[in-house]
Amino acid sequence: MDRELGVPPDLATVALYEGLLSPSVDVDSEQPPTLSAQGRVPLVGRATELSTLRNKWEQAKRGDGGLHLVVGEPGIGKSRLLSEFCDEAARGGNQVAQARCFSSRARLSMAPVAEWLSTKSVRIHQSSLDPAWLTEVQRLVPPSGVRESEREPMTESWQRHRFFEGLAAAFLASGRPTLLTLDDIQ
């Protein structure tokens, strides 16, 4: 409400929210379960879906990558499932980059890719890129202190092709499979 209407949440709403996040909840009561070590309520009722995602990720790590969609009605926990899976994959030492789409017209179409490239696990390997590829990545994620107006525009088709090759090189720089997730794609 604050973001969309400029109205801060009611004090009762804030108190309820903080109560739900309180780690002092008793599991044996009728209250929500205690938070996990990561500060979250444990994922419940999504074992099958989580197992499917794990299996798809294992296939991808063996070279049979692809696209897997998590679909369903709004509010059923798709984002939470994806978040839980990404956290689990990252704890397992996997390279994970998460991004989210927004319906705002102010966001660029490549914003989720820029978000992936800005993820620490992807960004850390960019220093090993060939300078030509790094220049292409920096079109989308410029180094600090560089204004967009300082970059040359892409006007030729070969420049766009080279740009996409540079982005691919950035994701492949680690030499390991990378789990890329995109939430709220609608």
pLDDT in tens, 101-157: 877 666 578 889 999 999 888 888 888 899 999 989 988 888 876 665 566 778 888
pLDDT of residue 1: 63
Q: Where are the beta strands (DSSP E) in 66-152?
A: 95-100
| Inter-CA distances, 125 with 2, 59, 95, 166, 173, Å | 38, 24, 11, 13, 6
Question: Could you give the CA distance from residue 103 to residue 157 in angstroms, rounded to a whole number?
Answer: 28
The length of the chain in residues reads 186
pLDDT digits (tens, 9 = 90+) for 47-95: 999 999 999 999 999 988 888 899 988 888 899 999 999 999 999 989 9
Handedness of CA 114, 66, 125, 81 (dihedral sign): positive
CA distance 43 to 53: 14
Quote the CA–CA distance of 172 and 32 in Å, as a whole number.
42
Structure-token pair, residue 97: 């980059």
Considering only CA atoms, which of 76, 91, 29, 81 is closest in space to residue 53?
81
Q: Which amino acid is at 149?
A: S
pLDDT (tens digit, 9 = 90+) per residue, 85-107? 999 999 998 999 999 887 766 65
**Element counts in the chain: helices (H) and strands (E):** 8, 2
